[in-house]
Structure 1
Amino acid sequence: MRILIIGGRGTIGKRVSHYFSQKHEVITAGRHSGELNVDIADSNSIKEMFEKAGKVDAIICTAGEAKWAPFNTLTEEDFYIGLKSKLMGQVNLVRIGQDYLNAKGSFTLTTGILADDPVDMTTSAAMVNGGIHSFVKAVALELENGHRINVVSSGLVEDAVEKYREYFPGHNPIPMKKVINGYVRSVEGKGNGEVIRIYN
C-alpha cells in the first residue's frame, strides 16, 4: 500500500510511520517536518499536499491542535483553534482527500480519551474530539468507492507522559504498541465508522 501520514513525525505519528514503512510505502506530511508540508487548518494547503502526494491507498492523520485552558478564560478565538485545526482540518482531509484515495482505501483520524473522559482545562479539546467521533460515524454511511473511515482514540500515551502527566492524575499510560495497533486495525482491517478506543 501507499500510505500518506499527516503528522507523521509527531509523537504518535513517528511510531505509526515507522511501523507501516516496514511493509508499505509511507509518505509523511506536516507543518514543519515530513516529506510534504501541510497546514491542516488551511484547505488550500491540504489540496496542494494531495496534488503533490498523488493517489494513495490509505490516509492517516495524527495531527491537529486545540487550546487547553480554563473555560472562563477561553475566548471565541481560542475555540476556533481546535475547530479549524483538529476538527475541520480532519474533516477537510476526508472531504478533499476522497478524490485522491484509491478505491477501497481508508481514512484514519485521531482524537483521544478527552471525548469520553475529559480532564480540567479541556473543554475545547473534548468538544472537538467528540465532534470528530460523530463525524466519522455519520460520514461512513456516505463514503463512495468502497472507502472506509475510522478514528483512533487513545488515552495518555507512554511517549507523552512526561509532558502531560500532571493533567491526567491517576491515568495509566498506554503502551505505544497498543496505540500503533489501533491504526493497524483501521488500515489493514475491514472496520468502517468505528471509534477505536484504546484507554487501558
Structure 2
Amino acid sequence: MPEQKPQLTVWGRANSVNVQKVLWCLTELDLAFERIDAGMQFGRTRDAEYLAMNPNSRIPTLVDGDYVLWESNSIMRYLCLAYRQDTPIYPQAAKRRAGVDRWLDWTLSTLQPADRPVFWGIVRTPPAERDMARIQKDADAAAEVWRILDQQLATRRFVEGDDFTIADIALAAYARRWLGVEGITRPTLSNLNRWFAEFASRPGFDRYVAPPMS
C-alpha cells in the first residue's frame, strides 16, 4: 500500500503574508493539506469554533488531527520536526538551527513592524485616502531595517549560508511586499535583490507568494 500523505488543514486567507509562509513551507516539504478561508472578508476568526482553536482570533491556524497550533513561524518549525526531521530547510545542528531561529524571531520583532505601515498604507488603503508623505517616512524607516538583511546577504547565498531554510521563507514573504509596493522611493539593495530573485523558480513561492498583492 502506498504511503499516505498527512492530512493537514490550514485556516487563513491566501493573501495573508503569514499564511503564505506556511503554504510555501508545506510545498517545500511536499505535504498535502487543505486550506480554509478565514480572516478579513471571510470572517470566521471570531466564531466560537475558531476561538477554541486560536484565542487570538488571528491567522493562520494549523490543525493536524487533534493537534492545533498557531503562530506561522512555530507552524513551520513544527512541520519540519513532525514530518521531515532530516530536511535541510530546518537544520539539526544546534548553531545552524539557532541561526535560522534568530532570523525567524527577527522577522516578527523587527521586520514586520517596519513593513506593516507601508504595506497597509498602500495596498490596503484606497488611493484617495493614502497619506503618501507619511507612507514615505515609514518606507524610509523600513529601508533601514532592510539594509540589515542586505548586509547579511553580502557574503552568503541565503540568509544563513549556502542552504535555503525556513528563515528565507519568512523573510522572502515580506520582501515580496517591500519590493512589490508602488508609489514609494526605496534604496537599491543589490544583495537583497539578488537573493530575492533566487525564489522565482521555487513552486511554493510562485504559487503562494508571487501572485498580486491584496
TM more than 0.5: no
Larger Rg, first or second structure (1 or 2): 2
Using CA pairs under 8 Å that are at least 6 residues apart, name the structure with larger relative contact order, 1 or 2. 2
Give the TM interval when normalised to the shorter protein: 0.3 to 0.5
Between structures 1 and 2, the one with greater strand share: 1
Between structures 1 and 2, the one with greater helix share: 2
What TM-score results when the alignment is normalised by the length of structure 2? 0.33
